[in-house]
Amino acid sequence: MKNHHSFKVFIVEDDVWYGSMLQHYLSLNPEYEVKRFESPRDFFAALHENPEVVTLDYSLPDCDGAEVLKKIKEHNPDIRVIVISGQEDVATAINLLKNGAFDYIVKDDDTKDRLWNSILHLREISSLKQEVETLKSQVGKKYDFSQMILGKSEQINKVFSMIEKAAKTNITVSVTGETGSGKEMIAKAIHYNSDRHKLPFVAVNVAAIPRDLIESELFGHEKGAFTGAVTRRIGKFEEADKGTLFLDEIGELDINLQAKLLRVLQEREITRIGSTGVTKIDVRIIVATHKNLLEEVKSKNFREDLYYRLIGLPIYLPL
SS (H, E, C) the chain: CCCCCCEEEEEECCCHHHHHHHHHHHCCCCCEEEEEECCHHHHHHHHHHCCCEEEEECCCCCCCHHHHHHHHHHHCCCCEEEEEECCCCHHHHHHHHHCCCCEEEECCCCHHHHHHHHHHHHHHHHHHHHHHHHHHHHHHHHCCHHHCCCCCCHHHHHHHHHHHHHHCCCCCEEEECCCCCCHHHHHHHHHHCCCCCCCCEEEEEHHHCCHHHHHHHHHCECCCCCCCCCCCECCHHHHCCCCEEEEECHHHCCHHHHHHHHHHHHHCEECCECCCCCEECCCEEEEEECCCHHHHHHCCCCCHHHHHHHHEEEEECCC
Mean pLDDT by 10-residue block, N- to C-terminus, for the chain (319 residues)?
A: 67 93 92 92 93 91 86 92 84 85 89 90 72 54 53 72 88 88 86 89 92 90 83 91 95 93 93 90 95 93 94 86
pLDDT at 307 (0 to 100): 95
Q: Which CATH number fits domain 7-140: 3.40.50.2300, 1.10.760.10, 3.40.30.10, 1.10.3720.10?
A: 3.40.50.2300
pLDDT at 302 (0 to 100): 95
Query: What is the side-by-side strand order in the sheet with 173-176?
Result: 201-205, 244-248, 284-289, 173-176, 313-316
CB 271 within 8 A of CB 219: yes
pLDDT at 8 (0 to 100): 93
pLDDT at 155 (0 to 100): 76
Alpha carbons 302 and 254: distance in angstroms, whole number:
9
CB under 8 Å to 82, separation ≥6 — which residues? Answer: 53, 54, 55, 56, 101, 102, 103, 104, 105, 115, 118, 119, 122
Q: Which sequence spans correspond to the domains of the chain? A: 7-140, 149-316
CATH of domain 149-316: 3.40.50.300
Distances (CA, A) of 267 to 89, 264, 283, 303: 65, 5, 12, 17
Q: Hey, do 7-140 and 149-316 end up sharing a CATH topology, with the first three levels equal?
A: yes
